[in-house]
């Protein structure tokens, strides 16, 4: 039997959640507009090394970043620095996903490049604190998780705009357990939250010559929240009459991504948080797995770029951390360089990554001593960045 007082307590808890969201929506509606990086001097980039293999791959990613932005750093246009304290030990000691002083420091940088951080789960030696990725997305209002997936040979060229602050994630730590038998979590979708992510997807399509935007929901079953997301999508679509639109349910969408004919038709996809989490892992698999992808977490004031794989504590325990692959974090660095206004340099870095990782493969990383170290691989990559034949070699690879 669930007793009456447990229900009363749950009601009060729900009232508090609603009040907090009402406040959040008001704040969101009056939030400042997009930051203009071209007007900043310096643009401040913070490196968050993270846990496990994080510090090892972050050191290599930072080296590449400094190399790519050498001139700007010299001129004082870009400033790069490491932010300490976002480690599982420090987070556990404070019992917080992001300790207050670390968050305060993070907020001094407009852009961060983050290594993988450990997310404790039940049974781990750490307290069950919230994922630090999810906390950063909420704290800095990084509402768009942008994940490109490209496999030119298979005609795949997708870009996912995953809403990053709402849906089941928003109230993930605030569910209700009623007695032993009943557990309830809350799914949250807001109109302004859906508006800004859909708008970003359409703007991207328009600026990049993409002709179609696809929305993915489960609005046939999850009627209220997904219904609102889908309705908002079609409302925004009216402002972009030159762009074709369609929408799919998440179940059939996961199937269509493996349909070799059909999947080429998808271009820009926009979707709520959890469906985006799942579908982008599936999509990254066609490109070589989540280890090959970087992700951009973008908000109007802040942006955070990250590797999408985990912190691989086992590699560290077995003394193999120096053999960890820094590619995914360097891909994230390329997205960062693009985001702050240097798209040509970002493209160059991506070409070098493709050549070293997929084409020439003079050094191969296996994660073990029979492969290259992350440092040697990065030296190899920088050699290619210095090579005047970079562009033509990459074009030959893509055509091959
Ligand atoms: C991702 C990850 C995170 C998420 C985890 C680590 C909380 O899977 O970035 O996709 O679910 O968003
Ligand atoms: Mg994920």
- Residue 73, domain CATH: 3.40.718.10
95 within domain boundaries: yes
Short-list 304, 344, 313, CA closest to 139: 304
Which ligand number lies closest to the CA of residue 294? 1
Does 94 reside within a domain?
A: yes
Ligand 1 centroid – CA 353 distance (Å): 24
Please tell me the predicted confidence (pLDDT) of residue 113. 98
Asked if pLDDT for residue 343 goes beyond 80, the answer is yes
CA distance 347 to 209: 17
C-alpha distances (whole Å) from 202 to each of 72, 197, 264, 353 are 31, 9, 19, 29
Is residue 63 one of the residues assigned to a domain? yes
If one counts every other C-beta atom within 10 angstroms of the C-beta of residue 284, the result is 22
Residue 376 CA, distance from chain mean position: 27
Q: Domain total for the chain?
A: 1
In angstroms, what is the C-alpha Rg of the chain? 22
pLDDT band at 151 (very low <50, low <70, confident <90, very high): confident
Q: Which two tokens stand for residue 251?
A: 């179940």
Compare 301 and 155 and report the one with higher pLDDT. Answer: 301
Best residue among 115, 121, 133 to mutate for probing ligand 1's pocket (most ligand atoms within 8 Å of CB) is 133
Ligand closest to CA 129 = 1
Residue 362 inside a domain? The answer is yes
Q: At what angle do helices 374-386 and 54-68 cross, to 10 degrees?
A: 10
Going by alpha carbons, the residue nearest to atom 7 of ligand 1 is 131
**Nearest residue CA, atom 11 of ligand 1?**
277
How many angstroms is it from 41 CA to the middle of ligand 1?
A: 32
Q: Report CA(277)–ligand 2 centroid distance (Å).
A: 4
Closest CA to 245 of 269, 261, 263: 269
The verdict on residue 214 lying in a domain is no
> Which residue, among 47, 133, 137, 60, has the nearest Cα to 336 in the 3D structure?
47
Is the CB of residue 30 less than 8 Å from the CB of residue 296? Answer: no
Reference 276, options 165, 157, 191, 200; nearest CA is 165
* 78 found inside a domain: yes
Burial of 278 (0-12, 13-18, 19+ CB in 10 A): middle
180 within domain boundaries: no
Q: Which atom of ligand 1 is nearest to the CA of 280?
A: 10
Protein residues whose CB sits closer than 6 Å to any atom of ligand 1: 119, 131, 133-134, 277, 308
Structural domain for 83, as ranges: 33-142+299-400
Ligand 1 atom with the smallest distance to the CA of 281 is 10
Mean pLDDT of 293-303: 93
Atom of ligand 1 nearest to the CA of 308: 9
Q: Rounded to whole angstroms, how far apart are CA atoms 291 and 194?
A: 29
Q: How remote is the CA of residue 274 from the centroid of ligand 2, in Å?
A: 8
Give distance in angstroms: CA of 27 to centre of ligand 1: 25
Given pLDDT bands bounded at 50, 70 and 90, which one contains residue 275?
very high
* Average confidence score pLDDT of the chain: 94
Name the residue of 115, 277, 291 whose CB sits within 8 Å of the most ligand 1 atoms, as the mutation to test its pocket: 277
Q: How far apart are CA 295 and CA 298, in angstroms?
A: 10
Mean pLDDT, residues 316-341: 95
pLDDT digit string (tens) for 345-386?
A: 999 999 999 899 888 999 999 999 999 999 999 999 999 999
How far, in Å, from the CA of 281 to the mean position of ligand 2?
Answer: 6
pLDDT exceeds 80 at position 336? yes
The token pair at 338 is 């693009």
**Strand pairing report for 176-178 and 156-163:** unpaired
Task: Identify the residue whose C-alpha is closest to ligand 1 atom 8.
Answer: 277
pLDDT at 3: 85
Q: Which residues surround ligand 2, an ion (CB under 5 A)?
A: 277
Is residue 394 one of the residues assigned to a domain?
yes
pLDDT in tens, 28-43: 999 999 999 999 999 9
CA of 253 to the centre of ligand 2 (A): 17
């Amino acid at each position: 039997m669930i007793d009456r007082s447990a229900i009363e307590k749950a009601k009060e808890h729900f009232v508090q959640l609603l009040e907090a969201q009402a406040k959040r929506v008001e704040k969101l509606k009056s939030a400042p507009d997009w930051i203009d990086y071209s007007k900043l001097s310096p643009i401040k980039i913070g490196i968050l090394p993270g846990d496990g293999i994080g510090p090892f791959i972050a050191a290599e990613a930072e080296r590449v970043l400094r190399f790519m932005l050498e001139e700007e750093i010299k001129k004082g246009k870009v400033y790069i620095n490491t932010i300490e304290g976002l480690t599982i030990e420090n987070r556990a000691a404070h019992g917080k996903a992001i300790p207050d002083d670390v968050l305060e420091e993070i907020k001094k940088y407009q852009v961060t490049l983050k290594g993988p951080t450990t997310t404790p789960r039940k049974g781990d030696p750490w307290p069950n604190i919230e994922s630090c990725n999810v906390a950063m997305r909420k704290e800095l209002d990084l509402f768009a998780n942008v994940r490109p997936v490209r496999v030119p040979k298979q005609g795949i060229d997708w870009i996912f705009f995953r809403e990053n602050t709402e849906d089941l994630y928003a109230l993930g730590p605030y569910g209700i357990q009623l007695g032993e038998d009943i557990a309830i979590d809350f799914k949250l979708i807001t109109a302004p939250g859906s508006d800004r992510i859909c708008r970003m997807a359409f703007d991207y399509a328009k600026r990049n010559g993409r002709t179609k935007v696809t929305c993915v929901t489960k609005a046939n079953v999850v009627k209220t929240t997904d219904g609102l997301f889908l309705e908002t999508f079609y409302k925004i679509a009216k402002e972009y009459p030159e762009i074709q639109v369609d929408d799919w349910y998440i179940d059939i969408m996961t199937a269509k991504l493996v349909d070799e004919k059909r999947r080429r038709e998808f271009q820009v996809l926009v979707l709520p948080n959890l469906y985006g989490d799942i579908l982008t892992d599936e999509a990254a698999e066609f490109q070589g797995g989540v280890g090959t992808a970087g992700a951009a977490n973008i908000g109007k004031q802040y942006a955070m770029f990250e590797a999408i794989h985990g912190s691989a504590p086992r590699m560290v325990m077995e003394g193999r951390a120096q053999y960890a692959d820094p590619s995914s974090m360097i891909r994230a660095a390329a997205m960062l360089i693009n985001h702050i206004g240097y798209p040509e340099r970002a493209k160059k870095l991506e070409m070098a990554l493709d050549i070293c990782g997929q084409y020439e493969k003079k050094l191969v990383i296996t994660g073990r001593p029979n492969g290259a170290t992350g440092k040697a691989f990065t030296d190899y990559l920088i050699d290619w960045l210095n090579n005047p034949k970079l562009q033509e070699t990459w074009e030959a690879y893509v055509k091959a």
